[in-house]
Amino acid sequence: MTTPLPRHLRRLPGQNAIVTGASGAFGSATVAVLRHLGVNVVGIDRKPAPGVIGCDITDDEQVRQGVAEALDQLDGRLDLLIHYAGVGPAVDIGRAPDANVHQALEVNLLGTWRVTAAAMPALLQSRGRVVVTASLLSNLQLPFAGAYTVSKRALTAYADCLRAEYGSHVGVTTVYPGYVDTPIHDSSRATGVALDGLVPAERERDTVMAVVRAAGARRARRDVASTVIGTAGLHLFRHFPGTTEQIVSLQIGLLLSDGAFGDAEIARGLHTRHGGHTARPDAS
Q: Got the DSSP string for the chain?
A: -PPPPPGGGTT-TT-EEEEETTTSHHHHHHHHHHHHTT-EEEEEESS-BTTEEE--TT-HHHHHHHHHHHHHHTTT---EEEE---------TTSPP-HHHHHHIIIIIIIHHHHHHHHHHHHHHHT-EEEEE--GGGSS--TT-HHHHHHHHHHHHHHHHHHHHHTTTSEEEEEE--B--SGGGHHHHHHT---BTTB-B--HHHHHHHHHHHHH-SS--SEEESSHHHHHHHHHHHH-HHHHHHHHHHHHHHHHHTTTTTT-GGGHHHHHHTTS--S-TT--
Q: Is 272 left (phi over 0), alpha (psi -120 to 50) or beta?
A: alpha
Q: Is the pLDDT of residue 195 over 80?
A: no
**pLDDT at position 186:** 63
**pLDDT at position 87:** 86
Q: Is the pLDDT of residue 198 over 70?
A: no
Name the pTM for this structure: 0.87
pLDDT digits (tens, 9 = 90+) for 52-83: 999 999 999 999 999 999 999 999 999 999 99
Which one of 3.40.50.720, 3.40.1260.10, 3.90.209.20, 3.40.50.300 gives the CATH number of domain 9-239?
3.40.50.720
Domain locations along the chain: 9-239, 241-284
Q: Is the pLDDT of residue 1 over 80?
A: no
Portion of the chain with pLDDT greater than 90, in percent: 58
3-state DSSP of 5-22: CCHHHCCCCCCEEEEECC
Across the range 215-239, mean pLDDT stands at: 91
**pLDDT at position 189:** 65
**pLDDT at position 51:** 93
Between 255 and 217, name the one with better pLDDT.
Answer: 217
Q: Is the pLDDT of residue 184 over 60?
A: yes
Residue 284 to residue 281: CA distance in whole angstroms: 8
pLDDT digits (tens, 9 = 90+) for 76-111: 999 999 999 888 888 888 889 999 999 999 999 999
Q: Is the pLDDT of residue 266 over 90?
A: no
Across the range 20-41, mean pLDDT stands at: 95
Q: Is the pLDDT of residue 271 over 90?
A: no
Q: Is the pLDDT of residue 283 over 50?
A: no
What is the Cα gyration radius of the chain? 20
